[in-house]
Structure formats: C-alpha cells, structure tokens
C-alpha cells in the first residue's frame, strides 16, 4: 500500500545520484530522470538500483509479498528530444516489461510505437465489442486422470479482429485490466457460460462445471462475489456448476476483500481453484486459511516430466501438500502420453492439455460432453 510506496521513494533517493530526479507520476509508477549517462549499460545500472530499492522497501514496509518492478527506459536524444515523448516512450517500454515477465527491463524501440497504437485501437473497440457479444468462450476439457472422462472444462475468452483472426488473451486481458473493462468482460463471459450450461442441459447433456479465470481487479471489488452469485442464480444454474480460477498473486493483492469474496462464493458451493500453482508467492499458511478447493499444477512443472531427473518429485510434493490440505489437483499443459501416465501414477486427480484437446468452441465441446470424452483436437 502507501507505506510500501513511501519506502520505495526513500530508498530511491538514497541509492540514486544527487543529479537524478525522482517523481511519482501516478498510482504505483515512478519516473527517474538520469542526466549525463555514458552508455546504455549506465541506464541498466540505474534500473538495477531501482529494482533493489523496491525489494528492500518490500521488507522494510513489513509486506514481504515478493513485490517486483517493471522498468522501461528511453534515451535522449536517440529516442527523441522532446521530454513528453521520452516519458511516453519509457512508458511503452515499461508496459512491454510488464507483459514479458516479472522484474523485466526494456529499452524503447520503434516497434513499440506500433504496438501502443494497436493497444489504443483495441482499448477503444473493447467496450462496444463486449456489449455486442464479439467475445466468445472456448472450452478446454478437464479429464479424470484414471478414466479420461470429461469431468469439467476451463472457459477461455477469445476475441476476433475485423479479419476474423484471434487476438491473443495475452494482449487483450492487460488492456481490459488497464481500461477498467475487465469487470464488464468478466460479467459477459459469466452470462455466456450460464447460457451454455442451460443449452447443454436442455439438450440432455451431462452437466460439468465450467471454470472461469478471474482478474485481481475483480477479486478486490467488494461487490464481485454478490454479483457473481446473483448472475448464476438468475440464470437458473446450480452454483456448483461454476468454478473460478485465480492466481497466487491475486490472493495477496488486497487480501481482506479478496478473502471475503472467496468465502462468500465458497458458501454458495462455487469452487475456487488456484491457477498456475507454484509460480507465485503464496505462503503455506495463506493457502491453509483460504477457502480453496483445487490446486492447478503449473505447466512448467509438467513440461519436465519424463525428461529431467527430479521433476516428478516436485509434482509429488505438490500432490501431497494438496492432500494434506484436502484440495484436489489438476495438472495443466499435459501434451504427451508419458506425462499423463506419470501424473496419474503420482496421484493427480485430473488432467488438462493438448494431449486430450485444445480449447474448442461450444459446439465441439458439446460433442465431447455427449461422448463423455474429448476429441483430442490437436
């Protein structure tokens, strides 16, 4: 919170040169103006000091949340001679860092300008396209590890451009979060999921739960849980047929509000899954205290199965942890028969990945429900 930001500012003042200027430019963003640098490596050294300042401030503020910093750099006069343009270019580079990985540093390049123009165009289109139903759900089956029967599905958002090409979720989800459209999008996708569940039920198909990914922004909205439950009930759907997927980082952002929302959802029988488990910062005590149902083992652990010594031991440890906490487990990113076999032997409850099916449209997924097994669309 504010205590962390104050600690960051103080640490920056101590670590940077007296000729450097530091300013908070909004929210959790800071700008550093560093004159008379000799080379790009000098700028990188400052970026490293900024990262160190944030890590140090995290501990001194008492949060210890594994806070990371994304840095963007623009250089005068190579990138431009206008101060406002230089700030804009550094901002573009920062957003590339945010999109790539935690703690990344990027220098501005001309290609970023085209990316930003595309992002602005998508941001303008997004509210109208949400209202017009131009976002769709595709479904990736989740199968029982022992029988390979379809027992659930993850609903994944898809958006198509004017030429009918899919716009990657890695592009449009951050835009939705930045532009405050994420709540509108989440509400629309939930309504669509309920509609499909009704359609499949009316067609005589077995009902399986649908999991929807939830943004940290949604989770920290005090009214999120009530709205989600109301939407499901208004659709006439048993609340147990909707699960939500959140990441470990989602949990630690505004924990108090998030926990209240999760407890409300749990009280109505809505399943709560931790997505990409093992890649975040959640502590074991936090997992124990939250109303969770499922740990989804991240694909990075699944990838190494059968290829790297010790990979199965990591997955085994996660499964044993889940059992002790009375959680079920789903392994993501299962692509090879060998992986599926190892995961089943270890005791993972369910499997998800291209070994069984890519995400498919509602019609194809309905076919999987009718057969009880996915088509193995590859």
Residue among 187, 183, 252 nearest 217 (CA): 183
pTM of the predicted structure, to 2 decimals: 0.78
243 phi and psi angles, rounded to 5 deg: -115, 155
DSSP conformation letters of 337-351: HHHHHHHHHHT-SEE
Residue among 166, 171, 177 nearest 121 (CA): 171
Q: CA 261, CA 267: separation in Å to the nearest integer?
A: 10
CATH of domain 2-108: 3.30.70.270
pLDDT band at 244 (very low <50, low <70, confident <90, very high): very high
Which is more confidently placed, 214 or 16?
214
* 113-136 per-residue burial string, b: 16 or more CB within 10 A, e: under 16: eeebeebeebeebbeebbeeeebb
Q: Is the pLDDT of residue 294 over 70?
A: yes
| Fold equal for 2-108 and 136-371 | no
Percent of the chain topping pLDDT 70: 93
- The residue assigned the tokens 């498919």 is 360
Q: CA 112, CA 94: separation in Å to the nearest integer?
A: 10
3-state secondary structure of 17: coil
pLDDT band at 378 (very low <50, low <70, confident <90, very high): very low
| Domain residue limits, the chain | 2-108, 136-371
Quick: pLDDT tens for 252-275.
767 889 999 999 999 999 999 999
Q: Is the pLDDT of residue 28 over 90?
A: no
pLDDT of residue 95: 82
Residue among 352, 287, 297, 298 nearest 326 (CA): 287
pLDDT of residue 377: 47
Q: CA 180, CA 194: separation in Å to the nearest integer?
A: 23
Look at the domain 136-371 and name its fold: TIM Barrel (3.20.20)
pLDDT of residue 351: 98
3-state secondary structure of 280: coil
> In what helix (H) or strand (E) does residue 153 lie, and over which residues does it extend?
strand 150-160
Cβ distance 325 to 288 under 8 Å?
A: yes
- Window from 206-220, 267-281, 293-307 with minimum mean pLDDT: 267-281
> In what helix (H) or strand (E) does residue 325 lie, and over which residues does it extend?
none
pLDDT band at 213 (very low <50, low <70, confident <90, very high): very high
Quick: pLDDT tens for 147-189.
999 999 999 999 988 788 889 998 899 899 988 899 999 999 9
Q: CA 332, CA 98: separation in Å to the nearest integer?
A: 23
Which is more confidently placed, 32 or 57?
32
Burial grade of 203 (CB within 10 A; 0-12, 13-18, 19 or more)? exposed
- Window from 80-89, 202-211, 260-269 with minimum mean pLDDT: 80-89
Q: CA 253, CA 179: separation in Å to the nearest integer?
A: 19
pLDDT of residue 66: 61
Cβ distance 251 to 290 under 8 Å?
A: yes
Cβ distance 125 to 135 under 8 Å?
A: no
pLDDT band at 310 (very low <50, low <70, confident <90, very high): confident
């Amino acid at each position: 919170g504010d205590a962390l930001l104050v600690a960051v500012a103080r640490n920056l003042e101590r670590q940077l040169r007296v000729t450097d200027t530091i300013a908070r430019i909004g929210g959790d963003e800071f700008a550093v103006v560093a004159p008379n640098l000799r080379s790009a490596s000098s700028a990188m050294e400052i970026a490293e000091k900024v990262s160190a300042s944030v890590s140090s401030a995290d501990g001194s503020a008492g949060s210890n949340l594994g806070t990371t910093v994304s840095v963007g750099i623009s250089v005068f006069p190579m990138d431009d001679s206008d101060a406002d343009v230089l700030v804009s270019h550094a901002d573009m580079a920062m957003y590339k860092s945010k999109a790539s990985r935690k703690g990344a540093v990027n220098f501005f390049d001309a290609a970023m300008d085209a990316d930003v123009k595309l992002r602005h165009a998508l941001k303008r289109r997004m509210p109208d396209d949400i209202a017009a139903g131009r976002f769709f759900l595709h479904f990736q089956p989740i199968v029982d590890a022992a029988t390979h029967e379809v027992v659930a599905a993850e609903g994944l958002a898809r958006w198509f451009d004017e030429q009918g090409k899919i716009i990657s979720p890695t592009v449009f989800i951050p835009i939705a979060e930045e532009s405050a459209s994420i709540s509108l999008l989440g509400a629309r996708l939930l309504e669509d999921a309920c509609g499909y569940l009704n359609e499949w039920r009316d067609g005589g198909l077995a009902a399986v739960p649908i999991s929807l990914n939830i943004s940290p922004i949604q989770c920290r909205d005090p009214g999120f849980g009530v709205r989600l439950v109301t939407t499901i009930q208004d659709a006439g759907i048993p609340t147990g047929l909707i699960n939500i997927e959140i990441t470990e980082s989602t949990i630690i952002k505004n924990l108090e509000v998030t926990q209240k929302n999760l407890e409300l959802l749990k009280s109505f029988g809505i399943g709560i899954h931790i997505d990409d488990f093992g890649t975040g910062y959640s502590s074991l005590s936090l997992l124990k205290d939250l109303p969770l149902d499922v740990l989804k083992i991240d694909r990075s652990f699944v990838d190494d199965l059968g290829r790297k010594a010790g990979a199965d031991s990591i997955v085994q440890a996660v499964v044993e942890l889940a059992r002790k906490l009375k959680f079920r487990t789903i392994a993501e990113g299962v692509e090879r028969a060998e992986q599926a076999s190892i995961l089943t032997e270890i005791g993972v409850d369910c499997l998800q990945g291209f070994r069984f099916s890519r995400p498919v449209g509602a019609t194809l997924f309905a076919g999987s429900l009718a057969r009880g097994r996915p088509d193995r669309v590859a």
